[in-house]
Amino acid sequence: MLRSALLASLVLAACAHADDWYPSKYGADDTLGAINELSPEGVVAAARLVRTGRSFALGVETGRDTPAFGARSFELFAVAHGDGSGAPMGANRATYNDDWMLTWLGIGTQIDGLGHFGIDHRYYNGNRVEDIFQPTGLTRFATHELPPIVTRGVLLDVAGHRGVPRLEAGEEVGAAELQAIAAAQGTPVERGDVVVLHTGWLDQAERDPKAFLAGEPGIGVEAAEWLASRGVVAVGADTWGLDVLPNPDPDQVFPAHQTLLARNGVYILENLDTRALVADGTAPFLFVLGQPRFVGAVQMVVNPVAIR
């Protein structure tokens, strides 16, 4: 009898712990997560960081050969007016070209929406998969519903801090290291920031695409929890999956994704091209992202811009 009661209490405790990440601190009905940390005042403050007007595209070029996770792929087709030599239109002899794409939206540089990654079929704010998912697109958390993200960007140069051109696959970046980098650079992580990690890993995408996808340096749960505790809006890196891979715990699958997206509503940016930005230094910058508003999208191909 005592043993049964003990087992029951352990089960109840485990269930309570499993559910302690919702409702969100932003309210039980919230669908935007950490984007709530953005404000007009924050935009004005971030705009004051601009000194030279230099802008840096953080998006990679995306094409048929872009390394992509799993079965993801990209196809673009150019379509000429008629057969390319058809009769021009009107007295002004107008001709045109069009194009169409057959692509996954989680390819190249991308933003992961809050409906992308969950915990046992629960997503941000405890939403069940049946609450948000339809084969024709998400009914909640779709990326077309996100407002523009305009805020202060903080670049943490992990490779530079370690004195190496590139971290290797499986190398974890912990919370203490992120704090040390921020302190050394004089760029403390603040509420409302977008944090961008430079590991040097993106070079592998061009040098050895198979090795690029086989693993990556990245963060674990501890670092993800620390970043979320700072009130950041999004975390990005020059890697394809942000999480450290392979994970030190072989039983864990993308746990930092769960910590950021599901538990805390913090967005994830992947495959950021940080090379030109880090070559320009580690000063904070104005971060600007306005994603395509494709209705129902889980993720979205993006080209964030950093301005100094």
Q: pLDDT tens-digit profile of 98-120? A: 999 999 999 999 999 999 999 99
pLDDT attached to residue 87: 84
Residue 128 lies inside a defined structural domain of this protein: yes
3-state secondary structure at position 89: strand
3-state secondary structure at position 134: coil
Residue 86 lies inside a defined structural domain of this protein: no
Phi, psi of 143 (to 5 degrees): -70, -15
pLDDT attached to residue 18: 54
What is the rounded CA–CA span in Å between residue 98 and residue 2?
A: 73
Count of structural domains within the chain? 1
pLDDT attached to residue 2: 37
Q: Which two tokens stand for residue 275?
A: 């090379």
Residue 27 lies inside a defined structural domain of this protein: yes
Residue 212 lies inside a defined structural domain of this protein: yes
pLDDT attached to residue 24: 98
Encode 204-231 in three state secondary structure.
HHHHCHHHHHHCECEECHHHHHHHHHCC
Instruction: Determine how many CB atoms are found less than 10 A away from the CB of residue 98.
Output: 9
The residue range of the domain holding 286 is 23-62+107-307
pLDDT attached to residue 194: 99
Residue 57 lies inside a defined structural domain of this protein: yes
* Low-confidence residues in the chain, pLDDT < 50: 1-17
pTM (whole model) above 0.75: yes
pLDDT attached to residue 19: 64
Residue 158 lies inside a defined structural domain of this protein: yes
Which CATH number belongs to the domain containing residue 288 in this structure? Answer: 3.50.30.50
Residue 298 lies inside a defined structural domain of this protein: yes
Residue 101 lies inside a defined structural domain of this protein: no
Encode 271-295 in three state secondary structure.
CCCCHHHHHCCCCCEEEEECCCCCC
pLDDT attached to residue 164: 98
C-beta separation of 228 from 266 below 8 A? yes
Q: Please report, to the nearest 10 degrees, the dihedral formed by the alpha carbons of residues 60, 253, 132, 74 taken in order.
A: 30
pLDDT in tens, 234-244: 999 999 999 99
pLDDT attached to residue 132: 98
User: Radius of gyration (Cα) for the chain, nearest Å?
Assistant: 21
